[in-house]
Protein backbone atom coordinates (compact mmCIF):
# COMPACT_ATOMS: atom_id res chain seq x y z
CA UNK A 1 0.00 0.00 0.00
CA UNK A 2 1.26 3.48 -0.76
CA UNK A 3 0.78 5.90 2.06
CA UNK A 4 1.22 9.65 1.78
CA UNK A 5 1.97 11.67 4.85
CA UNK A 6 0.70 15.01 3.73
CA UNK A 7 2.26 18.16 4.99
CA UNK A 8 -0.26 19.65 7.42
CA UNK A 9 -1.39 23.23 7.47
CA UNK A 10 1.83 25.09 6.79
CA UNK A 11 3.53 26.20 9.96
CA UNK A 12 4.59 29.50 8.43
CA UNK A 13 1.11 30.79 7.92
CA UNK A 14 -1.88 31.77 9.94
CA UNK A 15 -5.33 32.46 8.64
CA UNK A 16 -4.84 36.12 7.89
CA UNK A 17 -1.17 36.78 7.62
CA UNK A 18 0.55 39.93 6.46
CA UNK A 19 1.72 39.09 3.04
CA UNK A 20 3.68 40.90 0.41
CA UNK A 21 2.67 40.44 -3.19
CA UNK A 22 5.39 40.94 -5.77
CA UNK A 23 5.07 41.01 -9.53
CA UNK A 24 8.14 39.44 -11.09
CA UNK A 25 9.12 40.15 -14.66
CA UNK A 26 11.23 37.49 -16.32
CA UNK A 27 12.56 36.22 -19.64
CA UNK A 28 11.92 32.84 -21.18
CA UNK A 29 14.40 32.48 -24.01
CA UNK A 30 16.54 29.83 -25.67
CA UNK A 31 15.62 26.22 -24.98
CA UNK A 32 13.44 27.39 -22.09
CA UNK A 33 10.80 28.10 -24.74
CA UNK A 34 10.15 24.34 -24.83
CA UNK A 35 8.96 24.39 -21.23
CA UNK A 36 5.18 24.28 -21.35
CA UNK A 37 3.09 26.57 -19.19
CA UNK A 38 2.10 23.84 -16.74
CA UNK A 39 5.72 22.77 -16.46
CA UNK A 40 6.78 26.36 -15.88
CA UNK A 41 4.54 26.55 -12.82
CA UNK A 42 6.43 23.56 -11.36
CA UNK A 43 9.79 24.99 -12.36
CA UNK A 44 8.97 28.20 -10.50
CA UNK A 45 7.59 26.55 -7.38
CA UNK A 46 10.65 24.33 -7.07
CA UNK A 47 12.92 27.29 -7.65
CA UNK A 48 11.26 29.21 -4.81
CA UNK A 49 11.94 26.26 -2.56
CA UNK A 50 15.56 26.03 -3.68
CA UNK A 51 15.98 29.78 -3.13
CA UNK A 52 14.38 29.36 0.33
CA UNK A 53 11.96 32.23 -0.25
CA UNK A 54 9.38 32.61 2.55
CA UNK A 55 6.45 31.96 0.22
CA UNK A 56 2.86 32.12 1.38
CA UNK A 57 0.84 28.95 0.93
CA UNK A 58 -2.80 28.95 -0.09
CA UNK A 59 -5.35 27.89 2.50
CA UNK A 60 -7.07 24.65 1.75
CA UNK A 61 -6.87 20.91 1.93
CA UNK A 62 -3.89 20.97 -0.38
CA UNK A 63 -1.83 24.00 0.54
CA UNK A 64 0.05 25.31 -2.47
CA UNK A 65 2.47 28.09 -3.07
CA UNK A 66 0.60 31.19 -4.18
CA UNK A 67 1.53 31.80 -7.81
CA UNK A 68 -0.39 33.64 -10.54
CA UNK A 69 0.45 34.11 -14.20
CA UNK A 70 -1.45 36.89 -15.97
CA UNK A 71 -0.82 35.65 -19.50
CA UNK A 72 0.46 32.16 -20.37
CA UNK A 73 2.93 31.82 -23.21
CA UNK A 74 2.58 29.27 -26.00
CA UNK A 75 5.03 26.39 -26.08
CA UNK A 76 7.87 27.22 -28.47
CA UNK A 77 7.55 30.99 -28.18
CA UNK A 78 10.26 33.00 -26.46
CA UNK A 79 9.57 36.06 -24.39
CA UNK A 80 11.40 39.10 -23.09
CA UNK A 81 8.54 40.13 -20.84
CA UNK A 82 6.82 37.43 -18.83
CA UNK A 83 5.09 38.10 -15.55
CA UNK A 84 4.05 36.21 -12.46
CA UNK A 85 2.74 37.26 -9.08
CA UNK A 86 3.99 35.68 -5.88
CA UNK A 87 3.23 36.32 -2.22
CA UNK A 88 5.83 36.30 0.56
CA UNK A 89 5.36 36.31 4.30
CA UNK A 90 8.22 38.74 4.84
CA UNK A 91 9.23 41.89 3.06
CA UNK A 92 12.31 41.26 0.96
CA UNK A 93 14.23 43.78 -1.11
CA UNK A 94 13.26 43.28 -4.78
CA UNK A 95 16.92 42.95 -5.78
CA UNK A 96 17.32 40.24 -3.16
CA UNK A 97 14.43 38.23 -4.60
CA UNK A 98 15.86 38.54 -8.11
CA UNK A 99 19.37 37.53 -7.22
CA UNK A 100 18.33 34.58 -5.06
CA UNK A 101 16.07 33.22 -7.76
CA UNK A 102 18.49 33.77 -10.60
CA UNK A 103 21.00 31.52 -8.85
CA UNK A 104 18.65 28.53 -8.99
CA UNK A 105 16.60 29.02 -12.17
CA UNK A 106 17.29 26.99 -15.32
CA UNK A 107 19.06 28.58 -18.26
CA UNK A 108 16.91 30.94 -20.31
CA UNK A 109 14.70 31.99 -17.42
CA UNK A 110 15.93 35.14 -15.70
CA UNK A 111 14.10 37.41 -13.29
CA UNK A 112 14.54 41.00 -14.51
CA UNK A 113 12.68 42.89 -11.82
CA UNK A 114 10.35 42.54 -8.85
CA UNK A 115 7.93 45.10 -7.52
CA UNK A 116 4.42 45.86 -6.43
CA UNK A 117 1.80 45.09 -9.12
CA UNK A 118 0.56 48.15 -11.00
CA UNK A 119 -2.16 46.80 -13.29
CA UNK A 120 -4.88 44.21 -12.88
CA UNK A 121 -4.59 41.01 -14.91
CA UNK A 122 -7.86 41.93 -16.61
CA UNK A 123 -6.31 45.16 -17.93
CA UNK A 124 -4.30 43.20 -20.48
CA UNK A 125 -5.49 43.71 -24.04
CA UNK A 126 -2.80 42.58 -26.45
CA UNK A 127 0.80 41.58 -26.80
CA UNK A 128 3.46 42.21 -29.39
CA UNK A 129 5.59 39.53 -30.99
CA UNK A 130 8.59 39.47 -33.24
CA UNK A 131 8.55 36.60 -35.71
CA UNK A 132 11.61 35.75 -37.75
CA UNK A 133 11.13 33.59 -40.82
CA UNK A 134 13.23 32.04 -43.53
CA UNK A 135 11.16 30.96 -46.49
CA UNK A 136 11.70 28.83 -49.58
CA UNK A 137 11.40 31.90 -51.82
CA UNK A 138 13.46 35.13 -51.96
CA UNK A 139 12.84 37.41 -48.98
CA UNK A 140 11.22 40.16 -51.09
CA UNK A 141 8.63 37.73 -52.41
CA UNK A 142 7.94 36.38 -48.93
CA UNK A 143 7.40 39.90 -47.61
CA UNK A 144 4.90 40.64 -50.33
CA UNK A 145 2.97 37.42 -49.77
CA UNK A 146 2.98 37.87 -46.01
CA UNK A 147 1.58 41.38 -46.36
CA UNK A 148 -1.23 40.00 -48.53
CA UNK A 149 -1.87 37.18 -46.10
CA UNK A 150 -2.22 39.48 -43.10
CA UNK A 151 -4.32 42.09 -44.91
CA UNK A 152 -6.89 39.59 -46.20
CA UNK A 153 -10.48 39.67 -44.91
CA UNK A 154 -10.15 36.25 -43.41
CA UNK A 155 -7.20 34.41 -41.92
CA UNK A 156 -8.21 30.78 -41.71
CA UNK A 157 -6.04 28.49 -39.58
CA UNK A 158 -6.38 24.87 -38.50
CA UNK A 159 -6.52 24.87 -34.74
CA UNK A 160 -5.66 21.65 -32.95
CA UNK A 161 -8.42 20.44 -30.67
CA UNK A 162 -7.08 18.62 -27.66
CA UNK A 163 -7.95 14.98 -28.32
CA UNK A 164 -10.14 13.14 -25.86
CA UNK A 165 -8.65 10.04 -24.31
CA UNK A 166 -8.07 7.27 -26.85
CA UNK A 167 -9.17 9.52 -29.70
CA UNK A 168 -7.17 10.82 -32.59
CA UNK A 169 -6.26 14.46 -32.49
CA UNK A 170 -8.57 16.72 -34.43
CA UNK A 171 -8.25 20.08 -36.11
CA UNK A 172 -10.93 22.63 -36.66
CA UNK A 173 -10.90 25.58 -38.98
CA UNK A 174 -10.96 29.00 -37.41
CA UNK A 175 -10.75 32.61 -38.57
CA UNK A 176 -8.21 34.56 -36.53
CA UNK A 177 -8.56 37.84 -38.40
CA UNK A 178 -9.84 39.72 -35.36
CA UNK A 179 -6.98 38.45 -33.18
CA UNK A 180 -3.90 39.37 -35.17
CA UNK A 181 -2.50 42.45 -36.84
CA UNK A 182 0.69 42.98 -38.80
CA UNK A 183 2.48 46.03 -37.41
CA UNK A 184 5.69 45.98 -39.36
CA UNK A 185 7.63 43.77 -41.73
CA UNK A 186 11.25 44.05 -42.84
CA UNK A 187 14.16 42.08 -44.20
CA UNK A 188 17.16 41.55 -41.96
CA UNK A 189 20.59 42.76 -42.99
CA UNK A 190 21.59 39.23 -44.06
CA UNK A 191 18.85 39.53 -46.73
CA UNK A 192 17.36 36.09 -46.07
CA UNK A 193 15.46 36.46 -42.80
CA UNK A 194 12.11 38.22 -42.74
CA UNK A 195 11.18 39.94 -39.48
CA UNK A 196 7.55 40.57 -38.64
CA UNK A 197 6.12 42.53 -35.79
CA UNK A 198 2.67 41.20 -34.91
CA UNK A 199 0.15 42.43 -32.39
CA UNK A 200 -2.06 39.65 -31.13
CA UNK A 201 -5.02 40.15 -28.89
CA UNK A 202 -4.53 38.65 -25.46
CA UNK A 203 -6.34 38.18 -22.22
CA UNK A 204 -9.61 37.14 -23.85
CA UNK A 205 -9.01 33.46 -23.41
CA UNK A 206 -7.69 33.02 -26.91
CA UNK A 207 -3.98 32.46 -27.20
CA UNK A 208 -2.57 32.51 -30.69
CA UNK A 209 -0.03 29.88 -31.56
CA UNK A 210 2.18 30.81 -34.49
CA UNK A 211 2.88 27.36 -35.90
CA UNK A 212 -0.67 26.85 -37.27
CA UNK A 213 -0.74 30.47 -38.45
CA UNK A 214 2.37 29.93 -40.55
CA UNK A 215 1.14 26.54 -41.74
CA UNK A 216 -1.98 28.29 -43.00
CA UNK A 217 0.25 30.77 -44.80
CA UNK A 218 2.22 27.93 -46.41
CA UNK A 219 -0.93 26.11 -47.43
CA UNK A 220 -2.37 29.22 -49.03
CA UNK A 221 0.74 30.48 -50.83
CA UNK A 222 2.70 27.24 -51.36
CA UNK A 223 5.67 29.01 -49.81
CA UNK A 224 7.49 26.71 -47.47
CA UNK A 225 8.61 28.13 -44.13
CA UNK A 226 12.09 26.67 -43.61
CA UNK A 227 12.45 27.96 -40.09
CA UNK A 228 10.81 30.44 -37.81
CA UNK A 229 11.11 31.76 -34.31
CA UNK A 230 8.69 33.83 -32.27
CA UNK A 231 9.32 36.10 -29.34
CA UNK A 232 6.92 38.07 -27.20
CA UNK A 233 8.27 41.57 -26.76
CA UNK A 234 5.50 43.50 -25.03
CA UNK A 235 2.33 43.02 -23.05
CA UNK A 236 0.02 46.00 -23.39
CA UNK A 237 -2.96 47.17 -21.37
CA UNK A 238 -6.24 48.62 -22.66
CA UNK A 239 -5.00 52.12 -21.87
CA UNK A 240 -1.93 51.55 -24.03
CA UNK A 241 0.53 51.27 -21.14
CA UNK A 242 3.03 48.48 -20.81
CA UNK A 243 1.70 45.93 -18.34
CA UNK A 244 3.68 45.99 -15.12
Applying the rule CB under 8 A, the residues between 40 and 59 that interact with other proteins are: 42-43, 45-50, 52, 57
Question: Is residue 94 near other proteins by the rule CB under 8 A?
Answer: no
* Beta carbons of 214 and 228 less than 8 angstroms apart: yes
Applying the rule CB under 8 A, the residues between 147 and 166 that interact with other proteins are: none
Question: What is the b/e burial string over 153-165, where b = at least 16 CB atoms within 10 angstroms of the residue's CB?
Answer: eebebebeeeeee
CA dihedral sign of residues 143, 228, 213, 183: negative
**Nearest distance from C-beta of residue 82 to other proteins, angstroms:** 16
Among residues 125, 90, 91, 73, the alpha carbon closest in space to that of 232 is found at 73
Question: Is residue 220 near other proteins by the rule CB under 8 A?
Answer: no
Question: Is residue 104 near other proteins by the rule CB under 8 A?
Answer: yes
Question: Is residue 72 near other proteins by the rule CB under 8 A?
Answer: no
Question: Is residue 92 near other proteins by the rule CB under 8 A?
Answer: no
- CA of residue 68 relative to chain centroid, distance: 13
**Nearest distance from C-beta of residue 174 to other proteins, angstroms:** 19
Q: In 51-93, where does DSSP find H-type helix? A: none
Binding site for other proteins (CB under 8 A): 1-8, 10-11, 31-32, 34-36, 38-39, 42-43, 45-50, 52, 57, 63, 75-76, 104-108, 134, 211, 226-229
Amino acid sequence: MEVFIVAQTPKNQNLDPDRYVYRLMFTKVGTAKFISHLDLVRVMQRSFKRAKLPVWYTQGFNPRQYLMFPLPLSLGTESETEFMDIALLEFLQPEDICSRLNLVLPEGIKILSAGAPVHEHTDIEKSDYTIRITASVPAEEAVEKLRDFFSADKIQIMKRVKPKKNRREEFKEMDVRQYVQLMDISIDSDETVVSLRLAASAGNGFNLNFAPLLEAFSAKTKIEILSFSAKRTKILCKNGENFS
